[in-house]
Copies of this chain bind each other. A is one copy, B any other.
Amino acid sequence: MSLADAATRPHDRLRDYLAEDMEAVNALIRTRMASEHAPRIPEVTAHLVEAGGKRIRPMMTLAAARICGYAGEDHRKLAATVEFIHTATLLHDDVVDESGQRRGRPTANLLWDNKSSVLVGDYLFARSFQLMVETGSLRVLDILANASATIAEGEVLQLTAAQNLGTTEAVYAQVIRGKTAALFEAATQVGGVIAGAPEAQVTALARYGDALGMSFQIVDDLLDYGGASGAMGKNTGDDFRERKLTLPVIKAVAKAGAEERAFWSRVIEKGDQRAGDLEQALRLMQSHGTLEETRDEALRHANDAKAALAQVPEHPLRDMLSELADFVVARVS
């Protein structure tokens, strides 16, 4: 991607607009993830917190607060809080995912990482908790406590839904709400709350965050099957090989006759996958139009996100959040 293209991406424009705030947030993250007593903590978190990551979630908190006219500095603490919660869940997801991927062949390094991932994740949760307490807002604490519960519940639900052909679209929605949308929702909502915005604006910001998160995750799951066209690429099929019940598959299973159902049962439930099975799965999804249906669902959520923004004040950052919703679905349109 050229520099000119990069400059047009809405998250880059958000980052530029919020540069001063984000610098303060990054400084806060560095300070708070340090540990006087346990130097391993910054070692483990450094590569996660410093490198990579678009910092979308903290920018959503900052943007929400600024759109609502906030002039204080507590939104930075909340932005760091949100990033810490995100990083902690990534660390714990590593334990959950690595166990599956390297089943039967753990290395000492893997085991060391498991321990560190669990405990350093707990440390980041605790640090995020301290940061939000510092804002002195019980409403903020309530929102983030509820989001934390939804996140953990969704992750557990995902465990039990895996490889289960009986997984419904409602269960899928619950899983991705926990996996992605709950923290997006809390990120924007607490921005409005800390700004003391009117209730209608706070609700609209929460709706925006939730809808953007849902759209984002559905797009991610769709791209794992090559997008709406089902075009195979080098990153296609990871979810298929891991036998995950994502929306394109759930929709295809719902429309399957006896023969197709036997196919899904073999490859997803029994895990007996052979050469050509991914291609066959894509053919079935294309024949039932479930890739397009999945894309339409992502578009609906993106439109919901943009519609919610009509309830918040006009602001350059509001426009960028709106464009962010378009950008998320542009990957599959």
Contacts and interface: CB of A to CB of B under 8 A. Distances in A.
Contact of A136 (B99, B127, B138): B138
A129 B129 contact: yes
Copies in the complex: 2
A252 to B, nearest CB: 24
B99 A156 contact: no
Nearest to A143: B133
B149 A127 contact: yes
Contacts of A129: 129, 141, 144-145, 148-149
Interface in A137-164: 138, 141-142, 144-146, 148-149, 151-157, 159-160
A103 interface: yes
A159 to B, nearest CB: 6
A290 interface: no
Contact of A120 (B114, B119, B120, B156): B156
Contacts of A100: 111, 115
A184 interface: no
A149 B133 contact: no
B95 A115 contact: yes
A155 B37 CA distance: 11
A222 B39 CA distance: 28
A38 interface: yes
A130 interface: yes
Contacts of A155: 119, 122
Contact of A118 (B95, B146, B153): B95
B103 A111 contact: yes
A159 B96 contact: no
Contacts of A154: 37
A129 B89 CA distance: 16
Nearest to A146: B130
Nearest to A141: B133
B92 A119 contact: yes
Contact of A115 (B99, B133, B157, B174): B99
Interface string A114-132: 1110111011011101100
Contacts of A103: 106, 108, 111
Interface in A209-241: none
A38 B151 CA distance: 12
Contacts of A146: 130
A278 to B, nearest CB: 24
- Which 7 pairs show the lowest CB-CB distances between chains A and B? A126-B148, A123-B152, A126-B149, A122-B152, A38-B156, A129-B145, A99-B111
5 contacts: A38-B153, A114-B114, A126-B149, A126-B151, A129-B144
